[in-house]
Structure 1
Amino acid sequence: MPRSWLNLAILLALLLLVALPLLFIVLQAIFPLLSEGRWSGAFSALPRLLNDSELVPMWTGTLKIGVGVALCSLIPGLLLGSLRGLFRLPGAALWDLLLVVPFLTPPYIAALSWTLALQRNGYVQQLTGINFDGLLFSASGMMLVMTLNIFPVIYFAVSRTLLSNGQRLASVARVHGASPWRAWWHITLPLTLPALAGSLLLAFTMAIDEYGVPAALGTRAHLTLMTVGIEQKLGDWPIDLPGAASLSLLLSMVALAAWLLQRRLSQQEVTTQNGKPSAYEGIQAGIWVCPMLLLFGLTVFLAVVLPLSSMTLSGLLNTLSGGLEWSNLSLRHFSALFSAQGEALSAFSTSIGLALAAALLTGLLGFLVATRVSEGKSRGLAWLDGLALLPAAMPGVVIGVGLILVWNRGFWPVTPYNTLVILLISYCCLLLPWPVRYVSGALRQLSPALESAARVHGASRWQALRWVVLPLVAPALIAAMMMVFAIASRELVTSLLLAPAGSQTVALFIWRQFEQGSVGDGMAMATLTLVATLTLMALAQRLLHRQQH
């Protein structure tokens, strides 16, 4: 295939996946009668939106939660990340793996697990007699739950930055009389500022994009965030497409601004004079090793052990009303998942099939985009790269709204709407940045001379990609595809908006089990799903480790 045709095919795929949904959101927000096929009444929905009494509380609540989660994530992320990057931490690899768990746990499952643990007569009250119901169902409770899921983003950014650039300059400062605090403040902290600022903005973006925690806790906390407000405009009768599109556009603008700023800060580097990073083994902690381990252990207990214990225990209890008694333990909820008469097996197979297809499609498109963008710095290639990474700044609820506006139209001769294909499209759009990022990072480590040598010896462009480039970036590509598979298999918000009637995914099954009061079946499914996700993550890390060594 000629290069121009390849560029056209990639651009067409990105336009259909990314640009078209965003365009229809903008058009629907401007022309409220677009759903009826009319272009009249431009901006006529704007006064109604601005006069909506819920708009200001939604905006202020969303920004308050976003800023609060970012600042709260900064405390454990910076503290633990600095300790991990500066000192020789016993069992460092194990702590890293444990701190990945909150990030991989679906936020809505974490919120439901915390609900069962801290609500009135929950597990904590049964064991200790203390009732945390008032704390959980509040703005502070929502920020706490979201912080425990998001802070690993800052932790890994800080710790990896310190591990990669070493502390030679700080050690030199110490030799010349600087105190540990002064060396950290004037040398170590500036080295981490770009990564710290970027991860802080990423935490803010993830918080305002989140749907599961606000949906699970917001009603009882009397707090409605933007993502929930958008879903309500689509789910409650009468359906308000212009309102949903307008809110989606406003939320996307804030998320996109934060994301662009985060990308710019992440690209800034502070280097030593020779510009070469050095390996760093860390300082001996001495008498501080026990406090360090205690701090890591307390964090893991709060962020990992408590919610996962609540989740697993809920799946093992015969009935929640029976309480924490040995006689109340049962495996019936797990066995019910594999019953031929149940819906769980169908939901699981649907999610596995969609996730596998999404991993394959995003892997192929991501590989093509990354390899094409790596070949030059033209404006056209920059547009390809920007379109491919744009979904990283688009909340899942916005992608869902955009796909509804695009494909729920009478003028299409064939439409994927109300079929499982629309879910596949949404997963591909939402998760395409993963393969693009992973493969781009791997390509930056390869010498262009390798492909050139293959071309000089008679290989065509496709043969060079197939036999030289692809094997070298395969570990990163496979790792990215595993991440896509893991995330797509439990994606909630787009599934809620787009799933066709009569179809269920794992996320929908769990959500609806809670709505129907079948908590045990839902948590049993959540436990099995998380085990599968962690297994895939472990495989992905192993492949990345193999590539780096």
Structure 2
Amino acid sequence: SMRNLPSDLEEAARTTGASIWQVSRDVTLPMVMPALIFAASLNVLLGFETFGIPLVLGDPNGIMVLTTYIYKLTTLFGTPTYQLMAVVAVVLILITLPLVWMQRRLLRNARKYVAMGGKGARVSTLKLGKSGQIIALSTIGFWLFVSVGLPIGGITVRAFVDAWGEGVNLFDQLTFANFDHLLEVPSLIRGIVNTVILSVVGGAVAVGIYLMVGLAGHRNWGASNTLLDYIVLLPRALPGLVIGLAFFWVFLFVPFLTPLRPTLVSIFVAYVVVGLSYGLRLLQGTLLQVAPELEESARTTGATIGRTWKDVVIPIVRPGLAGAWALIMIIFLREYATGVYLMGAGTEVIGSLMVSLLQTGAMNTIAALSLISVVLTGAGLALALRLGAKIHD
């Protein structure tokens, strides 16, 4: 949203004598408010459905959340605890409904967020002073070191050693055996290949689906769009374990879907539903910034709605499509809870494999898979950024 914001709005504020901080606070921040509201609502729901981090860090210390509680009960009794899953789903849905209502209320007057008219492009006109640059770069650098450098560094080291702990000389434990083991186990190789296919190809197909859904609700402020807003966020409110189990039973008991259960199609469909709120909200935040006059001009020349979308709206939001694909690709790469119940011979993915390996204590293999996942994510981001640069050119 910030990238798509034309610089003339900020330039106008600067010509009146406003400082860069005032421009950021009074112009840039309000104009990207839809994206901020969408992100805030998604992050609230993400907190409810997070599974992997509480399982690894909280469970050994006796700290449980809803998702790990459901998983442990299922593991303990050997069968899914449907009644508890149903209660959790209802509670989270009740939390989601007022959240969507508040979001729609905040975005009621969407026209004030329009930023892309007939002309206008993002140009680097706002520059921080020397002291501001030092403060900003120091803050960003420290945050990146703590949140990115340390975790990835730890994963990288752990992937290349066969022992880890106090008093262990890591240089004496360096080895490639962890990766050699991956090549010896067919299910692990299939998991890596399946993850790449689902994230890269499946992510691109998912973005196309989300774009069609987003365009269907574009400029539509009636009851159908209200219903769409609620439907989009409800799946995200449910833990991935619940969604994965639900799709497992759908593909198991619906006759014409049963042949698809042992294939990647079942996981792809579940992933599309899980990523719907992220992808659609990202695209909607971009679509809201397109001035309606552009579409009205095309309609007055006799263009159909489909032609208007094809020749006007989609070319303008194309950079947003690259960003959406990058986000969905990462979501599909890291998704693990949804595939726990859908995983079978031939449908393994990295995330679900790591969850199953965690129960056996195979930390060497988990570290190697984690590093591969990090590398795949980095490669996908680099590709998406390069694609985005070409689109802007």
The two structures have a TM-score, normalised by structure 2, of 0.76
Q: Please tell me the residue identity of whatever aligns with 2:162.
A: N
Q: Please tell me the residue identity of whatever aligns with 1:227.
A: T
Counterpart mapping for 1:134-149 below 5 A: none
> Which one of the candidate residues 211, 230, 234 is aligned to 2:74?
234
Shift of residue 412 of structure 1?
4.4
Structure-1 separation of matches of 2:383 and 2:76: 42
Counterpart mapping for 1:356-435 below 5 A: 356=200, 358-374=202-218, 376-384=220-228, 386-388=230-232, 390-404=234-248, 406-409=250-253, 412=255, 414-415=257-258, 418-420=261-263, 421-435=265-279
Structure-1 separation of matches of 2:168 and 2:105: 51
Shift of residue 172 of structure 1?
5.9
Structure-2 separation of matches of 1:197 and 1:465: 25
Alignment check: 8 A CA contact 1:170 1:187 kept: no
Q: Work out whether 1:334 is the aligned partner of 2:198.
A: no
Name the residue aligned to 1:73. Answer: none
Structure-2 separation of matches of 1:500 and 1:433: 27
Q: Please tell me the residue identity of whatever aligns with 1:204.
A: V
Q: Percent identity?
A: 19
Unaligned runs of 5+ in 1: 1-155
Q: Please tell me the residue identity of whatever aligns with 1:336.
A: H
Name the residue aligned to 2:46. Answer: 206
Shift of residue 303 of structure 1?
0.9
Name the residue aligned to 1:258. Answer: 99
Give a deviation string over 1:227-261, Cα, whole Å, max 9, x none.
22223343331542112111122123224433543
Name the residue aligned to 1:534. Answer: 378
- How many residues align? The count is 382
Alignment check: 8 A CA contact 1:317 1:329 kept: yes
Q: Please tell me the residue identity of whatever aligns with 1:293.
A: L
Query: Against the structure 1 CA distance between its residues 532 and 427, is the aligned structure 2 distance closer, same or farther, given a 3 Å change threshold?
Result: same
- Residue 60 of structure 2 aligns to a residue in which SS? coil
Name the residue aligned to 1:448. Answer: 295
Structure-2 separation of matches of 1:355 and 1:296: 28
Structure-2 separation of matches of 1:467 and 1:214: 46
Shift of residue 186 of structure 1?
9.4
Give a deviation string over 1:520-541, Cα, whole Å, max 9, x none.
2211221121121122223333
Unaligned runs of 5+ in 2: none
Shift of residue 493 of structure 1?
0.7
Larger radius of gyration: 1
Name the residue aligned to 1:69. Answer: none
Alignment check: 8 A CA contact 2:235 2:274 kept: yes
Q: Work out whether 1:305 is the aligned partner of 2:132.
A: no
Q: Work out whether 1:243 is the aligned partner of 2:84.
A: yes
Structure-1 separation of matches of 2:15 and 2:316: 37
Structure-2 separation of matches of 1:292 and 1:352: 35
- Residue 320 of structure 1 aligns to a residue in which SS? coil
Give a deviation string over 1:346-385, Cα, whole Å, max 9, x none.
1112223333553254234223222322264443354345
Shift of residue 408 of structure 1?
4.8
Q: Work out whether 1:349 is the aligned partner of 2:193.
A: yes
Name the residue aligned to 1:119. Answer: none
Structure-2 separation of matches of 1:384 and 1:451: 26
Give a deviation string over 1:181-212, Cα, whole Å, max 9, x none.
9x799968995995767655543332222111
Q: Work out whether 1:219 is the aligned partner of 2:63.
A: no
Structure-1 separation of matches of 2:49 and 2:95: 10
Query: Against the structure 1 CA distance between its residues 496 and 202, is the aligned structure 2 distance closer, same or farther, given a 3 Å change threshold?
Result: same
> Which one of the candidate residues 492, 496, 512 is aligned to 2:336?
492
Q: In angstroms, what is the RMSD of aligned CA positions?
A: 4.5
Structure-2 separation of matches of 1:441 and 1:186: 19
Give a deviation string over 1:316-369, Cα, whole Å, max 9, x none.
1133258343232122223433x2544321111222333355325423422322
Shift of residue 491 of structure 1?
0.9
Shift of residue 428 of structure 1?
1.2
Query: Against the structure 1 CA distance between its residues 535 and 311, is the aligned structure 2 distance closer, same or farther, given a 3 Å change threshold?
Result: same
Query: Against the structure 1 CA distance between its residues 525 and 479, is the aligned structure 2 distance closer, same or farther, given a 3 Å change threshold?
Result: same
